[in-house]
Amino acid sequence: MNNELKISLDKIGRRFNREWIFRGVDYHFVSGESYAVLGPNGSGKSTLLQVVNGSLTPSEGKIDFSLNNQPLDIEQVYGQLSLAAPYLEVIEEFTLSEMIDFHFKFKPFLPGFDRQLIIDLLAMEKSRNKAVKYFSSGMKQRLKLALAFCSDTRILMLDEPTSNLDNQGITWYLSLVQKFATNRLLIICSNQEHEYSFCNHQLHITDYKK
C-alpha cells in the first residue's frame, strides 16, 4: 500500500439540467494525504465526490487515475476504493453477520481482520444475528463506517461521516481515523469541523461556482 495513487481533475464541471453545480475544478488528490471537501448543504460536495469516485460522469473536463504514474482504468479504481455515505444503502434484510460477509466478497479485509473483529469493533455482538432493518440510524452509520475503514483499499471516501452519531459515536469515528486512515488517500465531504479538522488540505466547493 506504499505505491502512489493519484486522482487528477482537469477543469471538471457538472450540471443538472441547465444549472451548473460547479465548474473549472483543477485539483489533485494523492495517496497518503487527507482532503476535506467543504461547503454548505446543497452546495455540491456529494456530487463532486461521486464524480471523483467515478459513479457520476463530469459534464465537462476530464478525470484521470494513476498508480505509480501509470494510467488506471475506472474499473480498476473501484477495487481500490471504499465509501461511506448517507445515500449508500446497506441491505436491510441481511443480518449484521451476513452484511459483513457480503461486503467482503467484493473488498479484502485489512490485514488481520475478519468478521468477528469487525463485530467487536462495532461492539455489536448481541446484534450479530439481527436484521439490519431493525438497527437504529446510528448503528447503521457505524456499520457503514466500519465496512469502509476495514476494507484494504488505497482510497477512503467519507460523506458526512458522523451523521446520526451521538458524541460517543463521534469519538469512535475519530478513533477509526487515527487507527485506519494513515497512508491512504482520504477524502471527507463535510460542513462540521470535528469530521475533518485533521485533514491536511481543504477544497471549498464554493470556489467553483459560476
Residue 74 has pLDDT above 90, yes or no: no
User: Which of 23-27, 67-71, 103-107, 163-167 has the least mean pLDDT?
Assistant: 67-71
- Where does residue 89 rank: exposed (0-12), middle (13-18), buried (19+ CB within 10 A)? exposed
CATH placement of domain 5-208: 3.40.50.300
Residue 2 has pLDDT above 70, yes or no: no
pLDDT band of residue 123 (cuts 50, 70, 90) is: very high
Residue 1 has pLDDT above 90, yes or no: no
List the chain domain ranges. Answer: 5-208
**Rounded Cα gap, residues 58 and 116, in angstroms:** 40
**Rounded Cα gap, residues 149 and 167, in angstroms:** 19
pLDDT band of residue 73 (cuts 50, 70, 90) is: confident
Q: Which is more confidently placed, 9 or 76?
A: 9
- The pLDDT score that the predictor gives to residue 96 is 98
- The pLDDT score that the predictor gives to residue 48 is 96
pLDDT band of residue 114 (cuts 50, 70, 90) is: very high
Helix (H) / strand (E) element for 19: namely: strand 19-30
